[in-house]
């Protein structure tokens, strides 16, 4: 945890300070848990009382908001400013320091300067690890895998052979990257495994949640675009392409050969069948199911299984809720007509 | 496996023995697989024949039930008595014996008496492990993590820094405890990571399934109450609070900031969106989906997506099944009116 | 990668070669990524142009198809022939070579000839590993576990004690095999753990995806039949029996005591509640939910939650989509009758 004066922080955020700029800030917290030196933030007027009751002496607030007995830093987007403040105040946790004596690194692997590798990690032949990347305990980095600069690979992550990660990629514990896709061909009463011989490219600034699984291409490649964020236990199958800055919430599964655009938002537990196309800027509600080969047009919001435009779903669903009443009215009408 | 006479077991269970109390019991089994010395149990009269055909010589039965050629121990709740008998008959499997020579335990970590740590486990600085706790191979116990007494941490579990576990907590292989929550703020075309600086408290007697993931608070904390049982691949997001003795079946996901009460039962593959409140004693059917901010009142049973009271869902659903018929009747009526 | 002439490959596939049989084949690829020596395949006439534009000199094609400037090998089932060709052309990746010096193998464990064990793997007392089986880094093979011949256990897999695997079983990274089932009995305000004392048998030629979890029986056993393929994050609960050559896609969960037949196909994110019976040859669509105790008859295709025959679901669903229109027609009719 770094320490700075409120005044200095206001300067960094290019924001107006109101109150005592000379107080120290040495952490961040929610209003209820904050100590005096923690920074808090208030986005909506309804949280004003929570903030005023906090022990914190300094708060980031929306422009125009005043807090009793607090130093305030007023900005247009308090939550965003809080995130930026945190980037200055918090130090990233250390995943590994130096190369641990028990790390097994093949002589042919190439490690950049400042790379840290935790205890009992294994790095196989011809792997490449970029400068300042940290690799946690029990990580397995397969043959020819490439990891960019300043990546953070938490303990207990597997990279299968040939997986390729860009810079500043974070991979959380238990994730499996570049595993076999699920492909078989039926042959006289049994399944033969389709070759899983393709590759996987994960671009810069991607974050991958705990216990997520990402398959490499069977032939061709799987691609996770720059800035993509995948939550815990997300499954991405072989030959999927996910565009830039797309976010996918927990336990969602993307089947083989799907194409997902840029800036797509996909809720939790969504199932996307194979060969779907989800265009840029679209939104898929939680637990939706998108059938094989379906196209979601750019900017559309869909929900339900099978997924359809949200407004349409809501309308249909409202009548579903009224089905007992509609059936009753139909019955009465039949009797009357008789 | 311990060994005791039927008579002794009846005494422990405070139950009435019928038949030869002098026979040995040295195990438990299902009727079909039992050997002579295994104990079996029969709950419902319909399973009487299965039990009588078993090789087992001793059975726990419901009061009033007789079995041909068996020693029976009669109780009100045979399954519960069987569980209690098993607690006396079975020894818990050993996860680790002593401190393995390859375990890497930071000098600042504090281990209670009788702690066992398996091969290649890593325990980081300032971690605390309570008496008689067993930690399996390849476990990673992060900085400042606290584990209570008599816990059982199976091989290949990750505790991120600062995670806190009570006494008698069991964590199964592959679980990731205290990882980052999934929080980002959009900023000019890309996502910035919201600080994940909160903590995680898991109370006494919790059991966590294989490959489950539990995030710590972003600010503030995530809490798993006393006696909670989470099945395999359950996902609990940041800032969730789960009350005491709640059970959650496999592959369910609980989104950020949900509050779940005591003695709640949640089925498998349920999705709970963020900021929901599921009050004590309620039941959520498998695959249900609970939309953002929704409140499930105490004692309610809900199902469906979006979830609604079970009886209402069943009624609506019955009409859904009859939709083709209703549409046909409507058509005939229209023709008649014309 | 092995190398062979087109002519030799045509001979192996027992197929007709057209063009220059003397060219070398030294790999497989998708048409777009292929180099000259890669083999490609074309199944449908619509992919003919993609194939002709490829740099590959040799293609497996459907009988009757001609490709400009390519050597073609004509077969009835091009995809299947391609799989067979790949089996000859590709070498399986090496998971481990020899017994690594850091592998901890209990003196009582029995390893067949040609077994390879990766760095930091742990094999406990009385475990048995069949000939030519490869076990990756960080694998934990519990006491008394049995693994057959020619198995491939990727890095970071856990086998709980007593798990039993047949020959040629593949288990991907992060999978947990033979863990506790989820069973409790309620007793005066808290849950007591039902004994998880049964076993697990996985038959020959099974493949298990990354981060999948399979529980052993509580009493009795869990069985995964010969040739079964389970995708990533599939969950199989205690006492389930899965028949031969059944395939289950990603993130599906099978609850306790289900019986699944042979040659069943189950889509992704399906939830099967406890004690269901899914007979041989049936198909369960993605995200379907099968309620407790339900029976799916042999050869049936079902979808939806609760699952019902696909044709019935489609019909009902079509009317659901038309609900706003039906309600409007009902309203007009009511007005008219008035």
**pLDDT tens digits, B263-308:** 999 999 999 999 999 999 999 999 999 999 999 999 999 999 999 9
Q: Is the peptide bond before C317 cis (omega within 30 degrees of 0)?
A: no
Domain annotation covers residue A94: no
pLDDT of residue A2: 84
Q: Is B125 on the interface with C (CB under 8 A)?
A: no
pLDDT of residue B2: 84
Q: Is B210 on the interface with C (CB under 8 A)?
A: yes
Nearest-CB residue to C245 (from A191, A221, A271): A191
Find, in chain C, the residue whose alpha carbon is nearest to that of B248: C182
Chains that touch B (3 or more CB pairs under 8 A): A, C
pLDDT digits (tens, 9 = 90+) for B47-86: 999 999 999 999 999 999 999 999 999 999 999 999 999 9
Taking CA atoms, A252 is separated from A56, A269, A290, B66, in Å, by: 38, 4, 12, 52
C173 contacts on A by Cβ (under 8 Å): 140, 158, 160, 176, 179
Confidence check: pLDDT of C1 > 80? no
- B43 and B121 together in one domain: no
Q: pLDDT band for position B315 (50/70/90)?
A: very high
Give the side-chain half-sphere CA count within 13 A for A261.
16
Average pLDDT over every residue of C8-14: 97
Are the Cβ atoms of A195 and C28 closer than 8 angstroms?
A: yes
Give the side-chain half-sphere CA count within 13 A for A41.
22
Q: For chain C, what percent of residues have pLDDT higher than 90?
A: 96
A267 contacts on B by Cβ (under 8 Å): 273
- C152 and C295 together in one domain: yes
Q: What is the CATH number of the domain that holds A24?
A: 3.40.1390.10
pLDDT of residue A337: 85
Q: Is A202 on the interface with B (CB under 8 A)?
A: no
C232 contacts on B by Cβ (under 8 Å): none
Q: What is the DSSP string of B154-204?
A: -SS-EE-TT-EE-TT-EE-TT-EEEE----EEEETTEEEEPP---EEEE-T
Q: C-alpha angle C175/C178/C182, rounded to 5°?
A: 100
Domain annotation covers residue B334: no
Q: pLDDT band for position B313 (50/70/90)?
A: very high
Confidence check: pLDDT of C337 > 90? no
Domain annotation covers residue A97: no
pLDDT digits (tens, 9 = 90+) for A70-120: 999 999 999 999 999 999 999 888 999 999 999 999 999 999 999 999 999
Confidence check: pLDDT of B95 > 80? yes
- C255 and C200 together in one domain: yes
Q: pLDDT band for position B212 (50/70/90)?
A: very high
Nearest-CB residue to A179 (from C86, C173, C326): C173
Q: pLDDT band for position A324 (50/70/90)?
A: very high
Domain annotation covers residue A208: yes
Q: Which is more confident, C317 or C108?
A: C108
Confidence check: pLDDT of C140 > 90? yes
Show which of C89, C118, C135 is a domain's final residue. Answer: C89
Question: DSSP 3-state assignment of C87?
Answer: helix
**Angle in degrees, 0-180, between the axes of helices A323-337 and B323-337, rounded to the nearest 10:** 30
What is the Cα–Cα distance from C248 to A144, expressed in whole angstroms? Answer: 31
Q: For chain A, what percent of residues have pLDDT higher than 70?
A: 100
What is the Cα–Cα distance from A51 to C52, expressed in whole angstroms? Answer: 68
Domain annotation covers residue B244: yes
- B185 and B45 together in one domain: no
Mutate to test the interface with C, among A125, A195, A270 (most CBs of C within 10 A): A195
Work out the minimum CA distance from C337 to partner chain B, whole angstroms: 7
A317 close to A298: Cβ distance less than 8 angstroms: no
Helices (H), chain C: 6-13, 48-52, 78-89, 310-321, 323-337
Domain annotation covers residue A137: yes
The residues near C85 (Cβ < 8 Å, ≥ 6 apart) are C9, C12, C13, C25, C28, C39, C60
Question: DSSP 3-state assignment of C263?
Answer: coil
> Position of tokens 């009797």?
A335
- B170 and B23 together in one domain: no
- C108 and C234 together in one domain: yes
Work out the minimum CA distance from B217 to partner chain A, whole angstroms: 10
Q: pLDDT band for position B205 (50/70/90)?
A: very high
pLDDT digits (tens, 9 = 90+) for B9-41: 999 999 999 999 999 999 999 999 999 999 999
pLDDT digits (tens, 9 = 90+) for B96-127: 999 999 999 999 999 999 999 999 999 999 99
Domain annotation covers residue A183: yes
Give the side-chain half-sphere CA count within 13 A for B24.
8
What is the Cα–Cα distance from C54 to C39, expressed in whole angstroms? Answer: 10
Find, in chain A, the residue whose alpha carbon is nearest to that of C248: A182
Work out the minimum CA distance from B22 to partner chain C, whole angstroms: 25
Q: Is C136 on the interface with A (CB under 8 A)?
A: yes
- A292 and A177 together in one domain: yes
pLDDT digits (tens, 9 = 90+) for C174-229: 999 999 999 999 999 999 999 999 999 999 999 999 999 999 999 999 999 999 99
pLDDT of residue A12: 96
B157 close to B179: Cβ distance less than 8 angstroms: no
Chains that touch C (3 or more CB pairs under 8 A): A, B
Instruction: Supply the mean pLDDT for chain B.
Output: 96
**Under the phi-then-psi rule, with left for phi > 0, alpha for psi from -120 to 50, and beta for the rest, what region is C2?**
beta
- B52 and B172 together in one domain: no
Residue C208, strand partner residues: C171, C230
Work out the minimum CA distance from B281 to partner chain A, whole angstroms: 25
| Verdict on whether the full-model pTM lies above 0.80 | yes
Q: Is C261 on the interface with A (CB under 8 A)?
A: no
Domains contained in chain B, number: 2
pLDDT of residue C233: 98
Q: pLDDT band for position A295 (50/70/90)?
A: very high
- A73 and A119 together in one domain: no
pLDDT of residue A96: 97
pLDDT of residue B337: 85
Q: What is the CATH number of the domain that holds C189?
A: 2.160.10.10
Confidence check: pLDDT of B146 > 90? yes
Average pLDDT over every residue of B166-180: 98
Instruction: Supply the mean pLDDT for chain C.
Output: 96
Q: Is C177 on the interface with B (CB under 8 A)?
A: no
pLDDT of residue A338: 79
pLDDT of residue C204: 98
Average pLDDT over every residue of A161-166: 98
The residues near C290 (Cβ < 8 Å, ≥ 6 apart) are C270, C271, C272, C273, C276, C278, C284, C296, C302, C306, C307
Confidence check: pLDDT of C2 > 90? no
pLDDT of residue A332: 93
Confidence check: pLDDT of B257 > 80? yes
Taking CA atoms, C47 is separated from B147, B191, C28, C61, C68, in Å, by: 59, 39, 17, 10, 13
Give catalytic status of residue C238 as yes or no.
Answer: yes
**Angle in degrees, 0-180, between the axes of helices A310-321 and A323-337, rounded to the nearest 10:** 60
- C295 and C148 together in one domain: yes
Confidence check: pLDDT of A1 > 80? no
- Check B172, B235, B238, B245 and give the catalytic one: B238
B221 contacts on A by Cβ (under 8 Å): 33
Domain annotation covers residue B225: yes
Q: pLDDT band for position A231 (50/70/90)?
A: very high
Tell me the residue range of the domain where C21 lies. 4-89
B154 close to B95: Cβ distance less than 8 angstroms: yes
Q: Is A119 on the interface with C (CB under 8 A)?
A: no
Average pLDDT over every residue of A28-54: 95
- B72 and B183 together in one domain: no
- B79 and B158 together in one domain: no
Q: Is C117 on the interface with B (CB under 8 A)?
A: no
Q: Which residues of C168-179 are buried (b: 16+ CB within 10 A; e: fewer)?
A: bbbbbbbbbbbb
Helices (H), C282-322: 310-321
Q: Is A219 on the interface with C (CB under 8 A)?
A: yes
Which uninterrupted H or E stretch holds A83? helix A78-89
């Amino acid at each position: 945890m770094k320490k700075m004066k409120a005044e200095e922080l206001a300067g960094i955020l290019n924001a107006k300070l109101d109150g005592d700029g000379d107080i120290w800030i040495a952490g961040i917290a929610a209003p209820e848990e904050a100590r005096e030196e923690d920074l808090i933030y208030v986005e909506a007027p309804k949280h004003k009382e929570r903030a005023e009751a906090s022990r914190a002496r300094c708060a980031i607030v929306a422009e125009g908001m005043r807090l009793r007995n607090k130093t305030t830093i007023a900005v247009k987007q308090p939550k965003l400013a809080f995130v930026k403040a945190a980037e200055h105040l918090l130090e990233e946790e250390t995943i590994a320091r130096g190369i641990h004596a028990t790390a097994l690194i093949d002589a042919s692997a190439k490690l950049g300067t400042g790379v840290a590798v935790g205890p009992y990690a294994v790095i196989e032949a011809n792997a490449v690890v970029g400068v300042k990347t940290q690799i946690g305990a029990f990580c397995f980095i397969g043959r020819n895998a490439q990891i960019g600069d300043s990546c953070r690979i938490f303990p207990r992550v597997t990279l299968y052979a040939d997986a390729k990660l860009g810079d500043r990629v974070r991979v959380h514990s238990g994730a499996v990257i570049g595993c076999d896709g699920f492909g078989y061909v039926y042959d006289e009463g049994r399944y033969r495994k389709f070759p899983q011989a393709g590759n996987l490219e994960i671009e810069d600034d991607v974050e991958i949640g705990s216990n997520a699984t990402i398959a490499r291409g069977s032939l061709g490649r799987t691609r996770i675009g720059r800035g993509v964020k995948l939550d815990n236990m997300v499954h991405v199958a072989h030959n999927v392409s996910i565009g830039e800055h797309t976010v996918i919430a927990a336990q969602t599964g993307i089947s083989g050969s799907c194409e997902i655009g840029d800036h797509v938002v996909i809720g939790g537990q969504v199932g996307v069948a194979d060969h779907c196309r989800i265009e840029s800027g679209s939104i898929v509600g939680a637990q939706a199911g998108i059938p094989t080969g379906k196209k979601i047009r750019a900017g559309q919001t869909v929900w339900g299984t099978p997924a359809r435009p949200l407004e349409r779903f809501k309308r249909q669903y409202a009548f579903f809720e009224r089905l007992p009443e509609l059936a009753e009215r139909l019955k009465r009408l039949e009797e009357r007509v008789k």
